[in-house]
Amino acid sequence: MYKLARKGNSVDQIKRTVEIFDLKILSLAIPYLTLMVSCSKGTYIRALAEDIGNMLGCGAHITNLERTSVGEFSLKDACTLEQMSQDLKTFGMKILEKRYIRPVDLFLKDFESVLLSDYELDKVITGVPIEAPKDLSSFSNNVLVRLYDKQKKFVGLGETKGNKVFPKRLINTKNIRE
């Protein structure tokens, strides 16, 4: 949206309900105000700044924006490639796995999950939809769900459509049975 606005194009903002969980003033040195905002996904911080400026009657815009966390991850979890490279040289691959690599499904923990039987797993691997579990059958269409095998190993994502779950994105299907 901001890229279009910078080109001089008029942009209609999409109205949506968002939540501001916390808003702290970190510093005030007129005309600058530094805030820390904890908010729901989909929040346009630039729009929030504009709204605050309009309420104060002076207008406002963003001069610097830094995302400090997303879900489970924060800047304290971040590292540079140089840091990873040095750790690899010093400690070997095990330290990278322990310190830096996270399971892919950690990013998806807010999605519902489906535990697949061997029969359902075979169907999913070959692209065939399965019956949605009863607790998912009331979901609307196009809801993403996490798929797991009997050993609770992440298999991929499925998508609900009616009373079915369709395989959407599977990972490493060659090694699922190993």
| Neighbour tally for 108: CB within 10 Å | 17
Higher pLDDT, 97 or 3: 97
Residue 138 has pLDDT above 80, yes or no: no
pLDDT in tens, 13-69: 677 889 999 999 999 999 999 999 999 988 999 999 999 999 999 999 999 999 999
pLDDT in tens, 94-106: 888 888 888 888 8
Q: Spell out the alpha helix ranges (H) of 59-175.
A: 81-91, 93-99, 118-125
Q: Judge whether 116 and 156 are in contact, CB under 8 Å.
A: no
Domain annotation for the chain: domains and CATH numbers: 1-66 (3.30.70.3190), 76-101 (no CATH), 113-170 (2.30.130.10)
What is the CA 20 to chain-centroid distance, rounded?
A: 18
